[in-house]
Structure formats: structure tokens, C-alpha cells
Chains A and B, each alone.
Chain A
Amino acid sequence: MALGLTLAACGSKNDSGSGGTTTGGGTSQAAAKLKIGLAYDIGGRGDQSFNDSAARGLDKAKSEFGIDVKELEAAAGETDAQKEDRLRQLAEGGYTTIIAVGFAYETAVEKTAKDFPEVKFAIIDSAGPSADNVANLTFAEQEGSFLVGVAAALKSKTGNVGFIGGVNVPLIQKFEVGFTAGVKAAKADATVQVKYLTQPPDFTGFNDPAKGETAAKGMFDAGADIVYAAAGGSGNGVFKTAKANGKFGIGVDSDQYNLPALADVKDVIITSMIKEVDVAVYDFITSVKDGKFAKGEKVYDLKAGGIDYATSGGKIDDIKSKIDEYKAKITSGEIKVPSTK
């Protein structure tokens, strides 16, 4: 249902978008083709996670609006200056709309935006840089994590659930905190095991299924029966282990039950915490195209959409009403989900 809502929301955008593709797209091409530059974080397109989500939003906008797109990628171990150089090269290359994926671009966006006031910037996951030409697209991951936490608590037979974070950074800690709060809200005496795969600056935890497998095995052995994998591509390993042990997992970022890459293990994915970076990217491009650029922070939370939980597979249909109760309480402000420990 919640997913239906998002889809519907997307759908409505699609309608207006596709309406514009045939006619509006043509006119905008005739006028001035929108030039969009997108700078990925480390991993880039194809990381099966965060960057890919942004890429999906971009692809959608591209196919609908016929925009001119340039995608650049960060290298491991680079400095702020190199990130800044990337943005500047885009700006100098005539890309008047630039999307920086990831908080690592904070400093770079701040410095570059100042020198290119006519260029519209968006940065994902950071409320940091603030200027007239910068939009900050942030997400309330803790709220979605809260809901899947509720699902985990209600579905767990052992009263013991696990959280596996990709890398121990504040962003992922938000997932952890929300999840734990959700579990405790639904079942105060439940146990939550917490494990991060790597520590910064080692970011391989987002893309190392083997590490995910090991960590999940440990949690299942210690009594957990449901594990929330907030670990990007490493989640595959978590689900594999869950399947092998007859346990369950919870996905992250997209509705992982429906990802072709995870078709083998989708049976164990009872739900996913959806963080729609693609929607944020698509929305942002649309706003610029329509001349409705808005500076400042735009929070994607449960209320605004962009954060939700998935019901594909029907594994949580029986408790859906309970989860939706919590959801209503969060959107109404009755429950305030913490974002830090």
C-alpha cells in the first residue's frame, strides 16, 4: 500500500513527464537543451546501491526530457580539491545543473557554488552547504528504519534481531538508531545485535557480500532470526546466509525483493527500507527544467515521500496495519524518531 502510494506518486510524475517528453521535450530541445552534470561518490554507476539509485533518477529524467548528461565519478583516496575540480570542470564545461551525490561533496559544492552563481547545484545527503544556488536533498532514513524495525520485532520468533551496517559512519548510524527504536517500540524486551562491516576510511563494507555473509552468520548463530542489512551491495551476502539458515532479512534503499540481481534470495526479504534517491534526483531535475528551482534543504521523509517501507512478497501483510499505525504516528509527529544515539 505504501509502496503503491510511492508508485502512484511516481506514476503521476511520469504522466506529466511523459506528456512533456513528446511535446515539451521537443520544445526544450529547440530552446536550450538542459545540460546536467552528475558527480558520483566512490563506486559510481554500477555500485548496486546509492550511486545506482541516483543514476536511475538521472536515466529517467534523461529518457523523458532528452537532456544532455555528463556523469563523472570519484576515485578512492581523493581530496576535496579533486572533488572540487570535478564540479568546476562540469561548471566550466557549460553544465548549468550539477548534482553531487554524497556528503563527501560538501566542501566542494560550497566552494564551487560560490564561483558559479548561475549554476544550480544539488547535493544529496547533506544539509551543509548553503547558498542561493544550492539545493540540499536529505532523507529521514531513521523513519523508514523505524518502520522496518517494527516489522522485524513483530515478525521475529526469537525476539532477537540484527542490524548490519555497511560502514560505521553517521549516515548509517541513522539507520541503526531508527531501526533499534522501531524494534523497541514494538517489543520492548527484544534484543538488537549491531554490527558494522568496516570502519571509515575503508568503505568496502558497502560492497563486500562476503563480509555480509560472515556478519550475518554470526548474528544467526547468536539467536537472531531477522537481520536488517543497511550495507548496500554487501546485503546480498546477508540474504544468502539468511536463506541458507532458514532465516530472514530486510533490504535497504530500494525494494530489494524486486531487484533482478536478488531474485535467488528474494524469498527471505520480508521488507525493505526504501530511500528514493532516484526520486530526489528526478524531482530536482524536473524542478530546474520547469524553472522552479528551490534552494535550501528538501527533506525526504515518510510524510513527504522518498522514504517508505516495501510490502512486495506479502511477507508482512499480516502486520501491515500495525506498521501503518506507527507510520501515521510518525507523519503526524506523535512519534519523533531519533536520528543519533
Chain B
Amino acid sequence: MRNLTARSVLLGLAAPLGALVFAALVCGIILAATGNSPIDTVDAMATAAQRPRTLVNSLNSATVYYLAAVAVAIGFRMKLFNIGVDGQYRLAAMLSAALAGAAFMDNLPSFLRIALTIGVAMLVGAGWAGLAALLKVTRGVSEVISTIMLNAIATYLVSYLLNPARLAETTPGSNNIGTAKITEGGQVPGIEVSGSSTKVFGLVVLAAVVGFVYWFVLSRTKFGFELKATGLSESAAVASGVSVKKMVVISMLLSGAVAGLVGMPQLLGSSYTYSLDFPPGLGFVGIAVALLGRNHPVGMMVAALLWGFLDNAANALDISGVPREIVLIMQGVIVLSVVVAYELVRRYRVRAEQQAVGKALGRTKTLEEVSA
């Protein structure tokens, strides 16, 4: 078995690396065809990679993307497509921001304030996702449809609540509107990095913890096993005593709870308010990162870092005259080629394994030996 596992490690790396190389080639061709120098682009990215601020921003973006990816991946593991991470995190961030910024919170100890804020965000996210789960198990509504709908409803709800008459306040002279600013006691201090004007989100730790818990629960617990089994074969899971409805509800709640965390690093580490310019669309980035990382805790981490770096290198490209849209093309091509590469490797692996089994038959025991 040892050489099979050694090979499977190689195969595991072959897919993402091959896809990256392929994506780089495609992007190079696109750049050249549009009259931009691929070399200048690489140069600009390399320069960006040496700038501490870009790296810190990349890490911060990755932190948020990773949380979104984990939220998506929890559902993916049992073939449940939570497209609603986007709405879940926005609603959660908005409501928890309103709570964290409320005046009465000033009297609480810092730790409690932060814990409360994060707790409420998880609850809101879980609750919003729970609606989709409820619709699925009671009425059979596809979670894809319901979560997309809930995204739209969340948008309207946030927009309704983000009003001076309700949970928001305006600053005179500003066209922005947001929840009350969270005072220092409710903020999570960042980590200083020399040479960078921005700090690393303190909640990068939270993302690491979430990643670890995700790995542990999925690969080491009964629950994780049942989640995986349901994803691989619902009929086999049912026959094995797994209540699929219960799994749908639990995994959707967990996915939503993690989705609730997505806005936290930004909210408590940089924005301190949920306002019009709070970053939207992270839920969809999460889907891409989860796909890219194959729902694997480490894979998604790498994918999130890559995605974050590409996003933050865009400014450097822009300033050196390369259209920033190349980043979007790159991201798209990478996701597509990774999906294709994994499918190719999967097929190859199935064949290789069947061959291995065939080979091994030559040395198994005979029936006589067994019955003896």
C-alpha cells in the first residue's frame, strides 16, 4: 500500500499544480493577445508580493475567504449547496455590528463584548441558513433556490434596517450610512507588521481555529462520517441509520453559523461598522475557494491565500498598466482548470486502483486456505 499512497500524494498535487500551470499559460496567451506583456504582469505581481502591505491585505482577504469557503464546504461535503452564505454573512454582520455598536455594550468587558458579537453573528447566520434547511426538509424546496431567494431577502432586510430610523446612523456631510461605530473595547486589535500600514486581522486566529475544527469534525467524528456518507450516497446513508433530514438541518445550521463569522474579521478588525461599503459578495468567493480547495481544510487555505493575493495584486497590475480584469480572468481560468484537472486525476486514480486490485489478486489466499 505504501507506494499507492505515495502515488496518491503525487496525484493529489498533480491536479492543482497542473491546473495552475495551465491557467498561467492561458492568462499569458490572453495578455499577449490583448497587447499586454505577460512578463510585465509577472513582474508587477512579483513586486506586489514583496510589498508588506499587499501581503498583509492578502492575508486579511484570505482570512475572510477561508471562513466563507469553510461555510460553503460544510454543505458541499453532503452535496448540499448553500449558495446563501452571502446573505447569511451580510445579515449576520449587520445585526451583530448594530449590537456591538450599541451604547450599552460599552460597559461590558472587552472579551465579553467580542464574544457576544461573534456569538450573535453565528446565531443570525445559522438562523438564516436554517430557514433554507427547514424549507428543504418540510417542503422539499431545493436549497439552491431557497438560499438564492434568501440572499435577495437579506439584501432588502439589511437595506431596510440600515436606516437612521432603525439600526443605522448617518454622519453629517457623508453620503455613507452605517451602524454605530464599535468603540475600542469591542474591537479586535490587529497584529502590527513592519513596513505595512495595515495590520493583520486579529481574527486570523479565528479562521485557523475554524479550519482545525472543520478538519477534526469531518474526519474524526461520527458526525463527520455521517455527513460524508450522506454526501457520497444518500441511499446508503439511509440504510445505515443516518437521518438525512437531521443531517440537512444540522449541516445547514453549521454552515450558516460559520457564514456568520465571515464578516467578523473585517467588522471587528477594520471597519468597526456595517456601512454601505462593507465588502459584499464574499459568499460567492467562498464557493470558488471551496471548489478550488476541494473542500479540504488545507486545500482551501492555499486557495484562499492565492485568491487573496490575486485580488490584492490587482492594484499593482492596474498601476503598472495591466488591466486589472486579468485577475478575474485568472481566477476564473484557475477554478475551471482545477475542476477539470481533478476530474481527470480522479478517473486516472480509479483506473489505477482497479489495476492495483487486479494485480494483488495473484497473491491472495485460495479458497481452500480460507475454509480450512
Stretch from A124-132, A150-158, A232-240, A274-282 contacting the other chain: A124-132
Residue B90 is within 8 A (CB to CB) of chain A in the complex:
yes
- Which listed residue (A76, A90, A127, A201) contacts B276, Cβ 8 A? A201
Let me know if B174 and A126 touch, CB within 8 A: yes
The answer to whether A89 touches B60, judged by C-beta atoms less than 8 angstroms apart, is no
Contact A79 B270, beta carbon cutoff 8 Å:
yes
How far is it, in angstroms, between the C-alpha of A107 and the C-alpha of B170 when the chains are bound? 15
Q: Which of A75, A128, A168, A201 contacts B324 (CB 8 A)?
A: A75
Would you call the interface of chain A mostly helix, strand, loop, or mixed?
A: mixed
CA distance A199 to B162 in the complex (A): 11
Given the contacts A72-B315, A89-B316, A77 and B173 also touching, CB distance less than 8 Å: no
Q: How far is the CB of A50 from chain B (nearest CB, A)?
A: 12
Task: Decide: A128 and B173 in contact? CB cutoff 8 A.
Answer: yes
Residues 104-149 of A at the B interface (beta carbon under 8 Å)? 104, 106-107, 111, 115, 125-128, 136, 138
Interface residues of A in 199-253 (CB under 8 A from B): 199-202
Answer yes or no: A308 CB below 8 A from chain B CBs.
Answer: no
Give the CA-CA distance A19 to B156 in the complex, in Å.
52
Contacts of B281 in A (CB 8 A): 76-77, 201
B265-317: which have CB < 8 Å to A?
A: 266, 270-271, 276-282, 285, 311-312, 314-316
On chain B, the residues within 8 Å of A202 by CB distance are 155, 280
Beta-carbon contact of A201 and B319 below 8 Å: no
A40 to chain B, nearest CB (A): 10
* Count of interface residues, chain B, beta-carbon cutoff 8 Å: 42
In the bound assembly, the distance between CA atoms of A170 and B57 in angstroms comes to: 29
B174-A80 in contact (CB<8A): no
- The contact string, 1 if C-beta is below 8 Å from chain A, for chain B 177-188, is 100000000000
Residue B82 lies at the interface, judged by CB distance under 8 Å to chain A: no
Asked whether B319 lies within 8 Å of A89 as measured between CB atoms, the reply is yes
A→B interface (CB under 8 Å): 70, 72-73, 75-82, 84-86, 88-90, 93, 103-104, 106-107, 111, 115, 125-128, 136, 138, 168-171, 174, 199-202, 297, 340
Chain A to chain B contacts (Cβ below 8 Å), 17 pairs: A75-B324, A78-B279, A82-B314, A86-B318, A89-B316, A103-B175, A103-B276, A127-B172, A128-B171, A128-B174, A136-B173, A169-B175, A170-B170, A171-B175, A200-B158, A200-B162, A297-B173
